[in-house]
Structure 1
Amino acid sequence: MLPTLVIGLREGLEAALIVGIIAAFLRKNGKSLAPMWVGVGVAVALSIAVGVVLRVVERSLPQAAQEGMESIIGAVAVVFVTGMIVWMNTHSRGLKRELEAEATEAIRDGHAYALAGMAFLAVLKEGFETSVFLLATFTASSSMTLAAAGAVIGVVIAILIGIGIYAGSVKLNLSTFFRATGAFLILVAAGLVLTSLRTAHEAGWLNGGQQTVLDLGALVRPGTVQSSLLTGVLGIPADPRLIEVIGWFAYLIPVVLFVYWPRARRAQGMQVAKVQFWLAGAVAVVALGFAVLAPLTHGSQPHALAIAGATDAAGSGTAQLKGSTLSYTLGASSSTVRLAGAGTRVQHNGVSAREWSVPVTPGSLSAPKQLTLNQLVAENGGRLPVGINPSSDPGPFDASWKLTGKLQVWSAGGALIDAQQSTHTLVTLSGGGLTTPRTLSISLTDLAISNWAVTDAAAQSAASAVSSAQAEHELWAVQLPIALGVAALTLAAFGLRSRRRALTDQNTPVIPTAPSAIQTAPQRSTSYAAQQ
C-alpha cells in the first residue's frame, strides 16, 4: 500500500502543480479555464484506459507470456520513474518559472489553447507513467486491494495539496518534497528491477545467475512487519538470487549517486561530457571483458555417466566422451568408438545437442548353420516363434544370420549427455518343412553385441548440468555484455549531447533582459516556498 500511495501522491502532485500553475496563469490573464479542464479530463480518461487495457491484455495471455509482459512493464516503469525522479530533481526549483515563461510566450503569440494542450500533455504524461508504474507495483504486491487503495489515497492527497497551493493556503518546498520522495521511489524502483528479473526467469528469458545468494526466510516471514517492509514495500524476496542482487545494486548505486551527489561537486559544462565519455568507455571495457572471458569459465566439463545393460547379465559400467572418442566399460568388457564428423544439431532432453549415429557390426560371426526346433524356442526366450507350426515345420532349419545395430551418442558443450547401443539379431530360416523362407528377430547370446544405455537418472542429471552451464554462458557471455553495451552507447549519446550543449553555451552571448510585466505581476494564489 505504501509504495502505491507514494507513487499516486508524487505523480498526482506533479500533474496538480502543472495544472494549478497553468490555471492560475489563465485566470490572472482573463482566459477561460474550460479548454484546460477538457484537456485534463481527456488525459485522465486515456491514462485510465491505458492501465485497463494493459491489465486485460496481461490477464488474457498464457502464464509464461504473462511473466514476460510483467517483465516488460516493470522495465518500462523503472525507466519512467527514474526519468521522473531525475527531471523533478533538476527542475523542481524553477518549475513555476519555466511554465509561466512558456505560458507567456503562448499568450503573446495568440495561442491560448496551447496552454490547454500543455495541461493535457502534462496530465497525460504523468497519468501514463502512473498507470504503468502502478500496474508493475500491483503485480509485485501481495494484496491488489491494498495497493489500489494506496494509489487512490495518494492521488486524492495530491489533488487536495494542489487545490491548497492554487488557493494560496498551502506553501510547499517542492525541492525538499521531491528529493525526499525520490529517495523512497528509488528503493521501490530498485525492487521493481529485482522483480522484473525474477519474472524474466519465470518467462524463460533469463536462466543464468539463479544461484540463491541470501536466505532471508527467517527475516521475511509472511504476516510480519519485516515481510511487509522488505517484500511488500521494497520488493525484496526471501531468496534473492545472484542476478537479482547484481541488478538491484547496478540500478540503486548509480541513480543514488546521480540524484544526490552534492551540487557543489558536480561537473559543469564540458566536464560533464568528459565524465560521461569516460564512464561509457569503462562500461564498454567491462562488457568486452565479460564477452571474452565468460566462455572460458562457463563451459561444460566432460564427465563419466553411469550405463546399464539391457539385461542383468550384461552388467553395468560407465561411458565418457573425450574429444571425439567415446569410451565405455560394461561388466568385464570395455570399448572405444571414434565419432566422425561434427554430428547433427538436435534437441535432446531439453538441451541443444549434437547427435552421432554409428553402425554396429560384430568383428566375427560364430553361429550355427542349422537350428533344431528346440534350439529355436530356446533362443526365442522359450516361446515358439509366430508362424512356426511344430506339426508341419518340425525342423531342423537351415539358418542364415545377420546382425544390425547402431550406437547413438548425444553431447552438448563437449560433454556427454546421453548414449545408447541397440542391436537386432535376424535369422532367416528355410527347410525343415517351411514352404518359404521365414525371417525372425531373435536373441542369440554368442552372436549379439550387448545392448546398453545411459541410465535415466544419469541422462537427466547430465542434461540439467549442461542446461545450467549453457544458461550461465548465455547470461555472462551474451546477455550481460549486450546490456552493458547498450548502457555504454547510451552514456556516449548523453556525452555527445552534453558536449553540444557546452559548446552552445560557450558560443552564446549573455544578454540581460528586463522582467516582463506578466512575470512581475503579483502572484496572489500560486506562491511556493521553493521559489521564495
Structure 2
Amino acid sequence: MLPTLVIGLREGLEAALIVGIIAAFLRKNGKSLTPMWIGVGVAVALSIAVGVVLRVIEKSLPQAAQEGMESVIGAVAVVFVTGMIVWMNTHSRGLKRELEAEASEAIHDGHAYALAGMAFLAVLKEGFETSVFLLATFSASTSMSLAATGAVIGVVVAVLIGIGIYAGSVKLNLSTFFRWTGGFLILVAAGLVLTALRTSHEAGWLNAGQQTVLDLGAVVRPGTVQSALLTGVLGIPADPRLIEVVGWLAYLVPVALFVYWPRARRAQGMQIARVQFGVAGAVALVALGLVAFAPRASTPHDQPLAISSAGAADEGNVALSRSTLKVGLGDDTTAVELPGAGTAVTHNGIAARQWKLPVTPRAALPATLSLDQLVAANGGRLPVGVNAAQNPGPFDAQWSTGGALEVWTSEGVLIDAQQTARTVVTITGGGLTTSRTVSIASGPLAQPSWAATDAAVQSASDAIAATQARQAEHRLWGIQLPIALGVAALIIAAFGLRSRRRALTDQNTPVGPTASPAIPATSQRSNSYAAQ
C-alpha cells in the first residue's frame, strides 16, 4: 500500500502542480478554463485505459508469457521512475519559475489553447507513467486491494494539495518533498529491478545467476512487520538470488549517489569530464575482469547408455559416434545412421533433438524353418494351428519386421534411446493346408525391443543439464554482462567528451571589456510558494 500511495502522490502532485499553475494563469488573464479541463479529463481517461488494457492483455496470456510481460512492464516502470526522480532532482528548485515563464509566454502570444494542450500532455505523461509503474507494483504486491487503495489515496491527496496550491492556501517546499519521496522511490524501483529479474527467470529468459545468496526466511516471515516492509514495500524476497542482488545494487548505488551527492561537493567544469572518464574506465575494467574470470563453459562428453532388452536377460549399451548409433546387445551389434538434424523437442526436461526411424530388419533370416526351429522361435511352444503330427515341416518362411527406433540427443550427446520391434513370420507348406502367421518375440530370429535404463537416462540428462547451466552462466557473466558494461562505458565516455568540450568552450569564452555584458544571475527564490 505504501509504495503505491507514494507513487500516486508524487505523480499526481507533478500533474496537479502543472495544471494548478496553468489554471491560475488562465484565470488571471480572463481565459476560460473549459478547454483545459477537457484536456485533463481526456488525459485521465486515456491513462486509465492504458492501465486497463495492459492488465487485460497480461491476464489473457499463458503463465510464462505473463511473467515475461511483467518483466517488460517492470523494466519500463523502472526507466520511467528513474527519469522522474532525476528530472525532479534537477528541476524542482526552479519548477514553478520555469512553468510560469512558459505560461507567461503563451498568454503573451495569445495561445490559451497552447496552455490547455500543455495541461493535457502533462497529465497524459504523468498518468501513463503512473499506470505502468502501478501495474508493475501491483504485480509485485501481495495484496491487490491494498495496493489499489494506496494508489487512490495518493492521487486524492495530490489533487487536494493541487487545489490548495491553486487557491493559495497551501505552501509546499518542492525541493524537500521530492528529495524525501525520491529516496523512497529509489528503493521501490530497486525492488522492481529485482522483481523483473525474477519474473524473467520464471518466463525462461534468464537461467543464470540463480544461486541463492541470502536466506532471509527467519526475518521475512509471513504476517510480520519485517515481511510487510521488505517484501511488500521494497520487493525483497526471502531468497534473493545472485543476479537479483547484483541488479539491485547496480541500480540503487549509482542512482542514490547521483541524487544525494552533496551539491557543494559536485564536480564542476573540467572535473565533470574527469569523473565521467574515471567512471567509464572503472566500468570497462569490471567488464574485462568478468571476461577474464567468468566461469568457463565445458563441452559435454558422450557416454554409452546401458540398455536392457524387454523379455530377455540380455543387456548391453548404446552409443553415438557422430551421426551413427551403435547398439550392442549380447553378442549382437548393429549400427544405424541418423539422417538429418532430427526434430527439436523437450525430453526429460531439457531441449533435445529426436529421431524416429523404422526398425531395420535383420540381415539374414532363414527362408525355411524346421518344426524345432519354429517351436524355439515361438518361445518353446507350438504355434496355434500347427500340429506336430500333421504338420512336421519344414515350412517356407516369409519375414516382416515392424516397430520404431527412437533416439534423443542434446548438445550432440546421446541422452535416451529405445527400440520397440515386432517380428512376424508367415509359414506355409510343411503339411499346412493354409498359411499361419507367428509373432516372434525373442530369440536369435527376433528383432529385439530394448530401452536405455532409467538410471542411464537420468545420469545423461543430469550431465547435460549441468553443462547447459555452466554454459548459461558463462554467457551471462562472460559475454552478455561484459558487452552491456562495455556499451555503458562507451556511453559514459561519450558524455565525458561532451563535458570536456563544454568546459573548454567555457574556458575560451572572452571576458573583460571585449566580452558581452554579463547577464545578471537570477536571484535565489524560495521553494515555498502558492500559485498566484
TM, length-normalised to structure 2? 0.80
Is 1:208 aligned to residue 201 of structure 2? no
Report the counterpart of residue 23 of structure 1 in structure 2: 23
- Which residue among 422, 443, 446 is the counterpart of 2:444? 446
CA spacing shift, 1:524–1:466, aligned 2, 3 Å: closer
Q: Which moved more, 1:201-210 or 1:182-191?
A: 201-210
Q: Is the 8 A contact 1:46 1:124 kept in 2?
A: yes
C-alpha separation in 1, matches of 2:332 and 2:86? 69
Residue by residue over 1:162-198, the C-alpha shift from the partner in whole angstroms, topping out at 9 and shown as x without a partner, is 3333444433332222222112111111211222222
CA spacing shift, 1:281–1:302, aligned 2, 3 Å: farther
Q: Letter of the 1:376 partner, please give it.
A: L
Is 1:370 aligned to residue 375 of structure 2? no
CA spacing shift, 1:169–1:348, aligned 2, 3 Å: closer
SS in 2 for 1:418: strand
C-alpha separation in 1, matches of 2:318 and 2:244? 38
Q: Which moved more, 1:374-383 or 1:33-42?
A: 374-383
Q: Is the 8 A contact 1:9 1:154 kept in 2?
A: yes
Report the counterpart of residue 466 of structure 1 in structure 2: 464
Q: Is the 8 A contact 2:284 2:489 kept in 1?
A: no
Residue by residue over 1:216-262, the C-alpha shift from the partner in whole angstroms, topping out at 9 and shown as x without a partner, is 33322221112111111111222323332332223222322332233
Q: Letter of the 1:40 partner, please give it.
A: V
Shift of 1:73: 1.2
Q: Letter of the 1:525 partner, please give it.
A: A
In structure 2, list runs of 5 or more residues that go unmatched.
510-515
Q: Letter of the 1:353 partner, please give it.
A: A
Is 1:199 aligned to residue 199 of structure 2? yes
Q: Letter of the 1:193 partner, please give it.
A: V
Q: Letter of the 1:396 partner, please give it.
A: G
Q: Letter of the 2:530 partner, please give it.
A: S
SS in 2 for 1:453: strand
In structure 1, list runs of 5 or more residues that go unmatched.
528-532
Shift of 1:283: 5.1
Report the counterpart of residue 72 of structure 2 in structure 1: 72
C-alpha separation in 2, matches of 1:266 and 1:336? 77
CA spacing shift, 1:310–1:135, aligned 2, 3 Å: same
Is 1:525 aligned to residue 524 of structure 2? no
Listed as ranges, the matches of 1:83-232 within 5 Å are: 83-232=83-232
Q: Letter of the 2:429 partner, please give it.
A: G
SS in 2 for 1:221: coil
SS in 2 for 1:93: helix
Residue by residue over 1:364-398, the C-alpha shift from the partner in whole angstroms, topping out at 9 and shown as x without a partner, is 969795321x6535522466657x45499724133
C-alpha separation in 1, matches of 2:74 and 2:124? 19
Report the counterpart of residue 530 of structure 1 in structure 2: none
Q: Is the 8 A contact 2:173 2:529 kept in 1?
A: no
SS in 2 for 1:313: coil
Residue by residue over 1:390-429, the C-alpha shift from the partner in whole angstroms, topping out at 9 and shown as x without a partner, is 4997241335586969875432224331123555545453
CA spacing shift, 1:524–1:343, aligned 2, 3 Å: closer
SS in 1 for 2:161: helix
Report the counterpart of residue 256 of structure 2 in structure 1: 256
Shift of 1:118: 1.9
Q: Is the 8 A contact 1:209 1:472 kept in 2?
A: no
Q: Is the 8 A contact 1:67 1:202 kept in 2?
A: yes
Q: Is the 8 A contact 1:274 1:495 kept in 2?
A: no
CA spacing shift, 1:491–1:118, aligned 2, 3 Å: farther
C-alpha separation in 2, matches of 1:81 and 1:61? 26
Report the counterpart of residue 477 of structure 1 in structure 2: 475
CA spacing shift, 1:325–1:280, aligned 2, 3 Å: farther
Q: Letter of the 2:395 partner, please give it.
A: D
SS in 2 for 1:297: coil
Is 1:63 aligned to residue 66 of structure 2? no
C-alpha separation in 2, matches of 1:406 and 1:48? 58
Report the counterpart of residue 394 of structure 1 in structure 2: 391
Shift of 1:81: 0.8
Q: Is the 8 A contact 2:172 2:529 kept in 1?
A: no
Q: Which moved more, 1:48-57 or 1:239-248?
A: 239-248
C-alpha separation in 1, matches of 2:307 and 2:285? 46
Q: Is the 8 A contact 1:367 1:446 kept in 2?
A: no
CA spacing shift, 1:124–1:337, aligned 2, 3 Å: same
Shift of 1:107: 2.9
What is the root-mean-square deviation of aligned Cα atoms in Å? 4.2
Listed as ranges, the matches of 1:190-339 within 5 Å are: 190-269=190-269, 272=272, 276=276, 279=279, 296-297=296-297, 299-302=299-302, 305-315=305-315
Q: Percent identity?
A: 64
Shift of 1:146: 0.8
C-alpha separation in 2, matches of 1:487 and 1:33? 50
Q: Is the 8 A contact 1:308 1:455 kept in 2?
A: yes
Q: Letter of the 2:76 partner, please give it.
A: V
